[in-house]
A and B are shown apart, each in its own frame.
Chain A
């Protein structure tokens, strides 16, 4: 299944808000610190800042809910801090 990348709708959480996640993040240097309410997830081999709509513990893992670039309601595994 292929999904287009819809433009930001301005509501809900966005996987890649332009202000925090530039298309080509620097290869070196510290990552952008999360703003209030944001968390970092590891997605497509990159750190991505999201504002989760909710968090859920499922089994041994914690997942954050957000609307992904494909427009689908998505839960993504949240790595432990550190």
Chain B
């Protein structure tokens, strides 16, 4: 296989199955349920900088773990580092994202859409408009995209809480980095949710299969970046040599669970894992000829944490 196709799904509070507008948060400070989020899947995003009136952890959505709260404002916020492949390249290919925010200002231009997600090879999202072969489609509910959004086609509605926007893009962009960001415009007391999927290609390579936090787990370690690239889904993390990946992961994360796929020998190596923790969908994706257990888990919670994080980033239902 010359290239792999990778995908990352966004399930930030909502999902493609959220057909009506009852998935939202409460930003009216006079409301008794201010700060509550009614989400369907994943975590909504809530910006509230006033930590005196609303201490960190006090919002209802923080208490019941239905949101990520930010206590700073920003113009553009990077939500995900989609991938960072170092000296390797990915080919950003396509995305479609439906964003839902509490900005009720009529939307005529993406630049003024508060709470709208977008994808860029650069951290400076202004350059997003320079994509080659760009085809943006921006819509407010009711949305009519017969092929790309069947639910809107079958069940269009006018949203009563904020606005919903769909952005889709097709093209080819060769880049070693890609980010998912959101335009906030330095606004406070806002919330937004989004669902979508982003696909890209990369050269077939041995893979490091470990869900990492980019800022805290990956970026601080040169050894990891020398051994493999980062991807938000924890799977499509290509390296140069399977044994180098194993050595780096063994040094940095001796107490975590991880897997390494050797794409030459077609062998999946497991560390602090057993075959029972490898989800069927991963087996179907990789189709390994052999699976070898480098080390069995002494504590099953270590293996379960790996599986849960992998499922959360790739399967919203969390099934195996």
Contact surface of A with B, Cβ cutoff 8 Å: 1, 43, 56, 58-61, 63, 65, 68, 70, 72-77
Contact = CB atoms under 8 A, between A and B. Distances in A.
B290 A43 contact: yes
Contact of B292 (A60, A61, A73, A77): A73
A59 B284 CA distance: 6
B281 A1 contact: no
Interface in B275-294: 275, 278, 280-284, 287-294
Closest 7 CB pairs of A and B: A59-B283, A59-B280, A59-B284, A75-B291, A73-B293, A58-B283, A72-B292
Contacts of B294: 72
B283 A74 contact: no
B296 interface: yes
A77 B288 contact: yes
Nearest to B242: A1
Contact of A77 (B246, B278, B281, B290): B290
Contact of A63 (B246, B275, B282): B275
Contacts, number: 44
Given A1-B243, A1-B246, A58 B275 contact: yes
Contacts of B275: 56, 58, 63, 65, 75
A73 to B, nearest CB: 4
A60 B279 CA distance: 12
A63 B30 CA distance: 59
11 contacts: A58-B275, A59-B280, A59-B281, A60-B284, A61-B283, A63-B291, A73-B296, A74-B293, A75-B292, A76-B291, A77-B288
Interface of B: 243, 246-247, 275, 278, 280-284, 287-294, 296
A63 B283 CA distance: 11
Given A58-B280, A58-B283, A70-B292, 11 more contacts: A43-B290, A59-B280, A59-B281, A59-B284, A60-B287, A72-B293, A72-B294, A73-B293, A74-B291, A76-B291, A77-B288
A61 B283 CA distance: 8
B289 A77 contact: yes
B290 A75 contact: yes
A7 B279 CA distance: 33
Contacts of A65: 275
Contacts of A1: 243, 246-247
Contact of B278 (A43, A58, A68, A73): A58
Contacts of B290: 43, 74-77
B283 A68 contact: no
Contacts of A59: 280-284
